[in-house]
Amino acid sequence: MAPSSQQSSSTAAWTPATWRSKPIKQSPAYPDESKLQKAVKELNRMPPLVHPTEIAALKANLRDVAQGNAFLLQGGDCAELFDYCEQDAIESKIKLLLQMSVVLIWGTNKRVVRIGRMAGQYAKPRSSPTEVVNGKEMPSFRGDILNGYHEDEREIDPNRLLKAYHHSAATLNFMRSALASGIADLHRPFDWGLGHVRDPGLKEKYSTIASSIQQTLRFLQVINARPEELQTVDIYTSHEGLLLEYEQALTRLLDSPEARSPAASRFASRAPSPPPGEADDTLPVRNLAIHGQDYYDTSAHFLWIGDRTRQLDHAHVEFFRGIANPIGVKVGPTTPVDDLLALLRALNPQCEPGKITLITRYGAGKVADLLPKHIRAVEDSEYRRCVVWQCDPMHGNTLSTEAGIKTRRFNDIYKELQESLRIHKEQGSYLGGMHLELTGDAVTECLGGSEGLAEDDLSTNYTSFCDPRLNEKQALELAFLVADHFSQEGKTGRK
């Protein structure tokens, strides 16, 4: 049972500003408060970036994932740069997520929900306020929303909040127009070239899968079958909700689509009633949906709390507990089992399926020891089949070469995914998704994969300003491996 202090905090009165009364981690020190307030005031008057109807649709999709009826693919840049707001970069990520999802649909035999780490992933937590670049100590690069990567751009600049908004808006605008124009029509041919795969056995396996997908798509085209899933798709946006000044400014009290739906009525009926004589305006904001409105963070469809900012009594949890968006929480080696349930009870006291995604990130060597304990804590509680379990196999597997280059091994990434799939099956739970740092560009930042990238290859095209990303071939290969796992499991289950 959760402590009474946690129960009281989850039902306390909430506004988009109550986080300011709490301790906060990873909060930047702006050198000029008046400039900050001017920028925030400007943000307050800007229109929402996403609509509550879209947010409600994503939450409904995530409800399907939580209940084992769909699979979640989430991916994009570690630290999105303003420079990535251009046609080719956006298109390459959309096409990669689409191609990966086609492979996963084939393997899982489930609908795939797609979320991009894009149109807002401009802030990055850092372990130290300073770093050494070319032998010189300077303020750490904290993402384009706060400061720039170059030496003369390291001062925190509040005007970057507005730049982040406008770059997010432009990215979203192009994403929507590209999807509306048919870029996501799955009848269009894909480049299934597998010339980079060096292992003959692996190449044959991938070729068999690709051939099966192509034959299915051709058959559907011949018979003029055009189900919605094959014509267009939704790609939702997400980022870490790190910078609360920005998130608060884009949080709005809006009409709730969920309040008008039968599903929302069911959830509202489970909401706690106010004590006799208590005024409605002291209710937690999540219950405002009963009255037809709720608070939405309109900066993105989906936001997550990072590993460094999930303290129960701190500002980020306080802010996140009041917004109607679906929420992610990073779960790692430093997450106590008791904290996991307390977080769920603070962020989702009504046990709404799909509201919370637990994004596990342990490292390939630790997942077997830590994941079962976290699964049992949740699955043996009132939150069984309410959360989405998602594996982030990237962040726990970062290392540095002897030359000091930050990288990740493809085999470690896949091992953590493979172990997570096995453990969830053993525990009777469902691993509903994967969360990847990837790019549609031909970068050389992660070791291994079918290309056989070695340490000497990293300098060929290493362009990340933060963490290493899978390139398009490595990301697609990972989709093949996961799809094959599900496919083989399905064949075993049918015997």
Instruction: Identify the CA nearest to 396 among candidates 374, 425, 416.
Output: 416
What is the distance, to the nearest Å, from the Cα of residue 375 to the centroid of all Cα atoms in its chain?
Answer: 20
- Residue 467 assigned as binding residue: yes
- Residue 205 assigned as binding residue: no
- Residue 457 assigned as binding residue: no
Tokens of 454: 């070695």
240, 305, 293, 20: CA torsion to nearest 10: -100
Q: Report the alpha-carbon distance of residue 370 to residue 249 in Å, rounded.
A: 37
On whether the CB atoms of residues 75 and 117 are closer than 8 A, the answer is yes
On whether the CB atoms of residues 437 and 76 are closer than 8 A, the answer is yes
Q: Report the alpha-carbon distance of residue 443 to residue 58 in Å, rounded.
A: 31
- Residue 361 assigned as binding residue: yes
* Sequence-ordered list of residues with C-beta below 8 angstroms from that of 382, at least 6 positions apart, any chain: 351
What DSSP line would sit under 352-400, residue for residue? -TTSEEEEE---TTTHHHHHHHHHHHHHTTTTTTTSEEEE--SGGGEEE
What is the distance, to the nearest Å, from the Cα of residue 417 to the centroid of all Cα atoms in its chain?
Answer: 16
Give 237: exposed, middle or buried? Use CB within 10 Å, 0-12, 13-18, 19+.
buried
Helices 159-180 and 33-45 sit at what angle, rounded to 10 degrees? 30
Q: How many CB atoms are located within 10 Å of the residue 320 CB?
A: 26
Instruction: Identify the CA nearest to 167 among candidates 34, 49, 16.
Output: 49
Tokens of 350: 């009504």
Q: Report the alpha-carbon distance of residue 157 to residue 299 in Å, rounded.
A: 19
Instruction: Identify the CA nearest to 418 among candidates 399, 448, 391.
Output: 391
- Residue 385 assigned as binding residue: no
* Sequence-ordered list of residues with C-beta below 8 angstroms from that of 252, at least 6 positions apart, any chain: 48, 295, 296, 298
- Sequence ranges of the binding site for Mn(2+): 78, 395, 437, 467
- Sequence ranges of the binding site: 78, 117, 330, 361, 395, 437, 467
- Sequence ranges of the binding site for phosphoenolpyruvate: 117, 330, 361
